[in-house]
Amino acid sequence: MTKSAEWHSTTILAVRKSGKLVIVGDGQVSMGDAVMKGNAKKVRRLGERGEIITGFAGATADAFALFERLEQKLERFPANLLKASVELAKDWRTDRYLRNLDALIIVGDAANLLILTGRGDVLEPEHPVAAIGSGGNYALAAARALYEYEPDPEKIARQAMQIASEICVYTNNNLVLETIGARSAE
């Protein structure tokens, strides 16, 4: 998110553990030192049956344009999130319109967890935890520290986001969380 130094927004965190994938995002959108909105929804389900979860950091309109393109790629390559993501990243890097979009995306399904960037990157995180956005590094560090000790990925995600919201002024604790995989034990 290098284009606009004035806008800061969000923390998105993904945690995969115990047959579940959890993606959680905060709701804050800031401009300079002002909170413009506190309840933005930056985590969504994609796919015909909602079998894919995605979250974005960056400009909202840009992220929605990318989600639409990703859905088109998923229609072309059904049940192959990795191929659809690679095709989106190629377009994002080379298409004159898409190249100017200012967002990062985390996307995952039952088998994949990926970070997509406008530079054409499709990154598979080394660890089963990934994060993007203004507070991403805080949430990532907290989730990695909790990972070994907490069996429930939803609890890891919630606690890590709480920690990030206490450190990063561009992150709040108004969370939207989506899960795929095994049901959590409440």
Domain residue spans of the chain: 7-178
Q: Which residues are catalytic?
A: 10
Rounded-to-integer distance, Cα 170 and Cα 172, Å: 7
Stretch (H or E) spanning 115 = strand 113-116
Of 4, 1, 16, give the one whose Cα is nearest residue 125. Answer: 16
Least confident span in 20-24, 50-54, 152-156: 50-54
Rounded-to-integer distance, Cα 43 and Cα 158, Å: 14
With a pLDDT cut of 70, the percent of the chain lying above it is 92
SS3 (DSSP) at 21: strand
The rounded radius of gyration (Å) of the Cα atoms in the chain is 15
Start-to-end Cα distance in the chain: 36
> What is the reported pTM?
0.90
At the fourth CATH level, the homologous superfamily of domain 7-178 is Aminohydrolase, N-terminal nucleophile (Ntn) domain (3.60.20.10)
Q: What is the pLDDT of residue 112?
A: 95
Q: Is the pLDDT of residue 184 over 70?
A: no
